[in-house]
Amino acid sequence: MRLDKYLADMHIGTRSEVKEKIRKGRVVVNGAVAKDPGLAVSDTDHISADGVSVRYREHFYYMLNKPAGVLTATEDKRQQTVLDLFPELLRKKLSPVGRLDKDTVGLLLITDDGALAHKLLAPKSHVDKVYLARTDLPVTAEDAERFAAGMTLPDGTELMPAGLRIHPEDPRESEVTLREGKFHQIKRMFEACGKQVVYLKRLSMGSLKLDPELPEGSWRELTEEEAAGLRGENPGTEQ
């Protein structure tokens, strides 16, 4: 592949921006300054731009700590979407994996790896998603039993068994574990138990945990280990 295409594909800049960088001598390939944008390179070459190594990635994986008030969509005419939180250069081909309600915060995986997205979302994959929920009324052991048994919602929707761990010191706070993702699922489950969800945050999806250092509205690239864990490539990693 041409050096300028490699750098543009790795989101270092637009094609013309990376050409400029190369011509200015700011790109090094295997220890030597490369001034030809058409130089042939491959994913085994050591390439750096402005002193920073540019590792080859087949796909891009980002963790977003979704803030409230933002739609889980790729674009919307009127409302801000989760992809609007990413710079234009990175946005191409990216999509959120699954959906969080507009007022839900927390972990959202954003990737261009459609096969992984499909795998994580397929009902048969049974990927655990863990949420922190706050409700207007205290959650009870009876609610936990209903969640565990697999509830049927008032509209007839049958749900798989779900985990509900009540905070020992504050029963208005609980941790919910879902293996599926139906529309407004947690809100509707609590509503069926006579409670309103007042705050909802996703903490994890399969092996991927929300980075506690990541502020709401911020995102970061997954580490290679996190991405491999999601793809099921880390031996011993439970999905």
Single out the residue of 184, 194, 218, 233 in contact with ligand URA (rule: CB under 6 A).
184
Question: Which of 60, 74, 99 has its CA nearest to residue 202?
Answer: 99
Residue with the two structure tokens 């041409």: 2
Are the C-beta atoms of residues 136 and 172 closer than 8 Å to each other?
A: yes
66 binds ligand URA (CB under 6 A): no
Give the binding-site size for ligand URA (rule: CB under 6 A). 8
When asked if residue 200 is in the footprint of ligand URA (CB under 6 A), the reply is yes
Is 101 part of the annotated catalytic residue set? Answer: yes
- Minimum CB distance to ligand URA, residue 104 (Å): 3
169 contact partners, CB below 8 Å, separation of at least 6? none
Please list the residues that pair with 65 across neighbouring strands.
Answer: 107
Instruction: Report if residue 64 touches ligand URA, rule: CB under 6 A.
Output: no
Q: Which of 100, 108, 109, 127 binds ligand URA (CB under 6 A)?
A: 100
Q: How far is the CB of 101 from ligand URA (least distance, A)?
A: 4
Give the nearest distance from C-beta 184 to ligand URA in angstroms: 4
135 lies in the site for ligand URA, by CB under 6 A = no
In terms of CB distance, is 102 or 167 closer to ligand URA? 102
**Residue number, 83 or 197, with CB nearest to ligand URA:** 197
Segment interacting with ligand URA (CB under 6 A) among 12-20, 46-54, 83-91, 96-104 = 96-104
Residues 207-226 that bind ligand URA (CB under 6 A): none
| CB-based contacts of 135, cutoff 8 Å, min separation 6 | 172, 174, 190, 195, 196, 197, 198
Give helix 185-192 / helix 141-149 axis angle, nearest 10°.
120
Give the Cα separation of 4 and 151 in Å (integer). 55
- Rounded Cα distance between 46 and 30, Å, is 5
Question: Do 120 and 108 contact (CB within 8 A), yes or no?
Answer: no
Q: Does 104 bind ligand URA (CB under 6 A)?
A: yes
- Cα–Cα distance for residue pair 24/133, rounded to 1 Å: 53
Question: Cβ of residue 168: shortest distance to ligand URA, in angstroms?
Answer: 23
* C-alpha Rg value of the chain to the nearest Å: 22
- Is 187 among the residues that bind ligand URA (CB under 6 A)? yes
* Residue 186 touches ligand URA, criterion: CB under 6 A: yes
Q: Which residue in 101, 112, 128, 211 is the catalytic one?
A: 101
> Is there binding between residue 17 and ligand URA (CB under 6 A)?
no
Is the distance from CB of 208 to CB of 230 less than 8 angstroms?
yes
Residues that bind ligand URA (CB under 6 A): 100-101, 104, 184-187, 200
Active site positions, annotated: 101
